[in-house]
Amino acid sequence: MEIDREKIRKQNRKLNWIIIAAVVFVGAALTLSAVMGSRVDAKKIAGLSRKGGLFSSASSGDRVGVLYISGVIHSGRSGAGGFMGSRTSGSDSIVSMIENAAVDPGVKALVVRINSPGGSAAGSQEIYDALLRFKQKKKPVIISMGDVAASGGYYIAAAGDTIFADPATLTGSIGVIFSLVGYEELFKKVGLDSNVIKSVEHKDIGSPYRPMTEEERQILQGAVDNIHSQFISHVAKGRGMDIEEVSKLADGRLYTGEQALGNKLVDKMGGMHEAVEFAAKKAGMPSSPKLEYLQKENPFMSLFETASEIGSGVLANKIAEAAAKQMLAAPGIETR
């Protein structure tokens, strides 16, 4: 019997399009559910007033800006998350939102909701500095800590005028870490060799293909200690504490919100509702103010970008590249 190959090819193409359509449909549902669900939860957290109603959301008139810093902090643009990954906070994106709110005459105060374990030291510093510039506009910055506001998350919080935390919030972790992985023994076992040609002695410092020298360890330790000193200095400045007082707390340990209050690392117990009301009061606004959520995302953008990447093969390359970086590349210095 003769096989109609052209007919089979057409059927396969049709099946492929059906599968792609199904994936896109399911992805859209999951993404919309995740994004809308998180926004509803955010409004519930931020919005229940003492009268039982919701704060209203607005982009005009006098209002309190609300900025979310969620997930790992890093340089560059924020990651939207959705069904393909976790939400992250990129300093470029966050700083841009802060700067826009600073020049908006209708935004009278800013509440920063932090739910982050930390991340890039440089990214945290950039956001910290942007909040200080916002305060120069004579607009208050109120911090609201979620489940976790630690290390780089606390670094950013230290820029606030007032910090709210829940009793069970995990915060603190005032420290710096620089992690390296060595693959020398693995390479020997699989018969691989690495040849490095460099212009100066320390150009390949931190290489995973050879043992670290004691001199290199001291160099990297010096960098970590220097950034840790910067961290302590910024916390002391933001909290109105002595360097020595902060140094005693800056051994990397976590504190609950209640413990942090006792150590003067936070100011008040309370959640988003209390933070918003306090921000309004500080800005001379009435209770239950209008809110403007600074993250204005299109919930379908990341979905369409991902669908496009699936079709073009870019996504597979990105996954492979990310895996390779995770395994082989030395990470940056992190405040977490």
Q: Any idea what the CATH number is for the domain that residue 22 is in?
A: 3.90.226.10
pLDDT digits (tens, 9 = 90+) for 228-263: 999 999 999 999 999 999 999 999 999 999 999 999
Q: Residues near 168 by Cβ (< 8 Å), separated by ≥ 6?
A: 256, 257, 258
User: What is the C-alpha to C-alpha distance for residues 150 and 252, in angstroms, rounded to an integer?
Assistant: 10
pLDDT digits (tens, 9 = 90+) for 42-85: 444 444 433 334 455 556 689 999 999 999 999 999 887 654 45
Q: How many residues are listed for the chain in this entry?
A: 336
Range of the domain at 31: 10-176+247-335
Domain annotation covers residue 227: no
Domain annotation covers residue 82: yes
Q: Residues near 263 by Cβ (< 8 Å), separated by ≥ 6?
A: 249, 255
Domain annotation covers residue 50: yes
SS3 56: coil
SS3 273: helix
SS3 176: coil
Domain annotation covers residue 200: no
Question: Cβ–Cβ contacts within 10 Å for residue 152, how many?
Answer: 32
Domain annotation covers residue 51: yes
Q: What is the band of 275 on the pLDDT scale with cuts at 50, 70, 90?
A: very high
Catalytic residue numbers read 151, 203
Question: Cβ–Cβ contacts within 10 Å for residue 88, how many?
Answer: 21
Domain annotation covers residue 221: no
pLDDT digits (tens, 9 = 90+) for 290-334: 999 998 655 454 455 445 444 545 445 544 544 444 444 445 667
Residue 187 has a pLDDT of 86
Domain annotation covers residue 255: yes
Domain annotation covers residue 232: no
Give 95: exposed, middle or buried? Use CB within 10 Å, 0-12, 13-18, 19+.
Answer: middle
φ, ψ dihedrals at 214, nearest 5°? -65, -35
Mean of the pLDDT values across residues 182-190?
88
User: What is the C-alpha to C-alpha distance for residues 245 and 264, in angstroms, rounded to an integer?
Assistant: 10
User: What is the C-alpha to C-alpha distance for residues 313 and 138, in angstroms, rounded to an integer?
Assistant: 49
More confident residue, 87 or 232: 232
Query: Which ranges of the chain would DSSP assign to H, the alpha helix?
Result: 5-47, 91-103, 121-135, 152-157, 184-190, 214-239, 243-249, 257-262, 272-282, 301-312, 314-328
pTM summary value? 0.73
Give the HSE-up count for residue 104: Cα atoms under 13 Å, Cβ half-sphere: 20
| Total count of domains within the chain | 1
Look up residue 177 and give its DSSP letter.
B
CA atoms 293, 282, 159, 137: torsion sign: positive
